[in-house]
Chain A
Amino acid sequence: MATTDLSARPARRLGAPVSKRVLPGFGLSLGISLFFVSLVLLLPISGLVIRAGGMGWEQFWFVISDPRVVASYKVTALAALAASLFNCVFGLLMAWVLVRYDFPGKRLLDAIMDLPFALPTAVAGITLATLFAENGWYGQWLAKIGIEVAYTPLGIVVAMAFTSVPFVVRTVQPVLEELAPEDEEAAVSLGASDWTVFRRILFPVLWPAVVTGGALSFARSLGEYGAVIFIAGNSPYVSEVISLMIFVRLEEYDFPAASAIAAVVMGVSLLLLLFINVWQGRYLKRLHGG
Chain B
Amino acid sequence: MATPRHRRVGDSPLVRRSLIGLAVVFTVLLLFMPLALIFVEALSEGWAVYVGNILDEYTLHAIGLTLFVALLTVPLNMVFGVFLAWLVTRFRFPGRKVLITLIDIPFAVSPVVAGLLYLLLYGGNGWVGQWLGQYDIQLMFSWPGIVMVTVFVTCPFVARELIPLMQQQGSEEEEAGVVLGASGWQLFRRITLPNIRWALLYGVILTNARAVGEFGAVSVVSGNIRGETNTLPLHVELLYQDYNAVGAFAASSLLAGIALITLAVKAIVEWRQSRL
Contacts and interface: CB of A to CB of B under 8 A. Distances in A.
Interface of A: 16-17, 20-26, 28-30, 32-33, 36-37, 40-45, 47-48, 51, 90, 93-94, 96-98, 100-101, 103, 105, 107, 109-124, 126-128, 130-131, 137-138, 161-162, 165, 181, 184-185, 188-189, 194, 197-198, 202, 219-220, 222-226, 230, 242-244, 246-247, 250, 255, 258-259, 262, 265-266, 269-270, 272-274, 277
Nearest to A89: B26
B108 A273 contact: yes
A223 B105 contact: no
Secondary structure at chain B's binding surface: helix, strand, loop or mixed?
Answer: helix
A194 B7 CA distance: 10
Secondary structure at chain A's binding surface: helix, strand, loop or mixed?
Answer: helix
A223 B214 contact: no
- Nearest 3 interchain pairs by C-beta: A223-B110, A120-B213, A44-B117
A243 B212 contact: no
Contact of B80 (A32, A117, A124, A242): A32
A198 to B, nearest CB: 5
A126 B110 contact: no
Given A33-B87, A188-B9, 6 more contacts: A29-B87, A30-B93, A47-B126, A51-B120, A122-B252, A127-B34
A251 to B, nearest CB: 10
B9 A243 contact: no
Given A24-B187, A250-B119, A262-B116, A30 B87 contact: yes
B143 interface: no
A246 B23 contact: no
Given A122-B215, A273-B104, A115 B259 contact: yes
For chain B, give the interface size range. 35 or more
B99 A37 contact: yes
Residue picked from A114, A117, A226, A230, most chain B C-beta under 10 Å: A226
A124 B252 CA distance: 9
